Structure 1
Amino acid sequence: MTIPSHTSVGIVGGGPAGLLLARLLHRAGIDCVVLEARDRAYVEQRQRAGILEQGTVDALRSCGAADRLDREGLVHDGIELRWNRRSHRIDFPSLTGGRRVWVYAQTEVVKDLIALQLADGAPLLFEAPVTAVVGADTDRPVIHYTHEGTDRTLTCDYVVGCDGFHGVVRRAIPEGELHTAERVYPYSWLGILADVPPSCDELIYAHSPRGFALHSMRSPSVSRLYLQVPNGSDPASWTDAQIWDELEARFAVDGDWKLDRGPITQRSVLPMRSFVTEPMRWGRVLLAGDAAHIVPPTGAKGLNLAASDVVVLARAFAQWAATGTNAGLDAYSDTCLKRIWRAEHFSWFMTTTLHTAPDQSAFDTRLQLSQLDRIAASPHAAAELAENYAGLPVG
């Protein structure tokens, strides 16, 4: 493969945001190069999100990246809320005009996009860590990176940072030009993968005096479950039996529902935080996905926000390539931030409504239960949850 020294769009980061952007640009006839610091195996095995909004699925379909998703993805028309040993189902299609979500792991989305990129897309370089991006305020920003033991440079018309919260590209923007808002939550998630068929047809979000729990799945034979735990918890300090016992206690509901148990194959602790940096563009450098924003996973927004960012960005680049106008690129940050802050609010709402804070009072708990009762009783409150969960319009 010939590695170009110049490209229209240099994309740093070969996760779902960078790969989807590359695919959309390829379909629009815009040249780009994707630089990923890790090797292919690592990227394809990185466990992250598993819920795709309607808009994300539409974007994958539009660029020919949804064949396997449509065959293997699990379509979900709702979620179940549990509290005080009762349950209530939120039906998405009836409350949103037909929108729904899909269970399809981020690892699978990444595998699909990598295969397409390597088959017929723009250059995708693994093990190509970027060391710096310079000249953001010029018309030819430069990416400095290493590949196969050689220091290289890539000049670009634009650079897009899809390299996550700890990435390099955000550092190309002068510190005084960025404004950051952040919240760190006083609890984490202990997440497990288990070789057991899911005990539910749709996701269960459980509020409990013992803490939050979530029952999800990766496939018809693999369950994905989460427990709220204190920050700093060691996943190895829990035995398998303790994890299953605690999950069973938090999911407890009146009736004959039963939590099936199986071998736990993976476990990890996930900290919870909200983070937004703005603007998402400075000069010829743009940020997308986790490089610009992070949400707690309770609302299933992270991957979907990244997808919506790059859909807006791909449209703006298509306009630029076709007409020479920068109007879409100039509006990119403001356009995306409107949706991002709504998703941040929804994720905060789901998190604070369902989790038990370490210093939580009886008053706080009654407010949570009142809110859950309201969702169960009011179609308007249920519709607000459903519309946000299934995904607000992009752009």
Structure 2
Amino acid sequence: MRLDTGWLRDPATVRVMTALAEGGARAWFVGGCVRDGLLGREAGDIDIATDAEPRRVMAIAKDAGIRCVPTGEAHGTVTLVSGHRPFEVTTLRRDVETDGRRATVAYTGRLEEDAHRRDFTINALYAQRDGAVIDPTGEGEADLAARRLRFIGDPHDRIREDYLRILRFFRFHAWYADPEGGIDAAGLAASAEMADGLARLSRERVGAEMRKLLAAPDPAPAVAAMAQAGVLGRVLPGAEARLLPVLIAFEGGLAPDPMRRLAALDPMRRLAALGGEAPAERLRLSKAEGKRLDALREGMGSGAGPGELGYRHGVDLARDVLLLRGAAMGVPPAPEALDAAAEGAQAVFPVKARDLMPGLAGPELGAALARMERDWIASGFTLGAEDLLR
């Protein structure tokens, strides 16, 4: 295989690789950028592996006039900034000791040792600056071509090095594996056997993986496998996978939304009761994400109609609630319901507090406004201010 992608020829990339070569260091592109480039996908981060140790990389960058940030010098990584783009440059490493969360590493000059400390065969591909691909495990190219996800070597060993790899196994399956090919049996069995290790991970790391998983075009098969292995229940006690494939089928051309899909894993709103913590706490969601998730979960169980949902929450959240309700019933939301939600989102309550003053005040004023608002919503937003005041 040969890598042929735009970022390979980008002046910013060429400048970094040229500087490393002229400084006497060997360097290769590695990991996701190679994998995605071979698949014709746009690469996110461009990671570089080198036989030069961090201090030497920093000296090379200084001589070349490239900005260098020691982002992870203790672990062998520095970031070079070229053309306003960051390039993580990491010294080839081998694991000396691991505790399931982080590893003690030693530098090495051998590409094979660096490759065998990585997680999956498709992530252990390297490319020279001319695009020639190197596959130290001898399995990565074939697995990528077959859209097959496998751990490097014994899955138990790879998971023991970092228990987050259990969640990465399902996430990468959703993004890169052939959905018709099934999930790797050895990886699934090891994930099930070692799921207790997930308790060692920080909630931030778990939450980040779950977001990435649920943002995949169709994460339903991977989430179903998580449930089968007992992993989903470890992450979100009480979560169910049954509604997710129905929801995804109803989403149509909508962009994937992790919060909408997360709400589908909790159709009975049981997660906080069974797990002792709300999903937002367990996954360390942001305030905005937690607020949206709560609104979706509450909307699923409320008696509010499409118009009221649109009026109170806006058209996007109302649409998502209708999709979730439809998934629960196995019937997609009717076009009229979606139209009503859009109409409600545009509606403006015609009565103001001042319209009832000075006759009413305090709790009586609030109760009267709430009653009038309910009547107005029930009328399909057709009653005007005069009708409501009368």
CA radius of gyration, larger in: 2
Which structure's residues are more often strand, by fraction?
Answer: 1
TM over 0.5: no
Bigger relative contact order (CA 8 A; separation at least 6)? 1
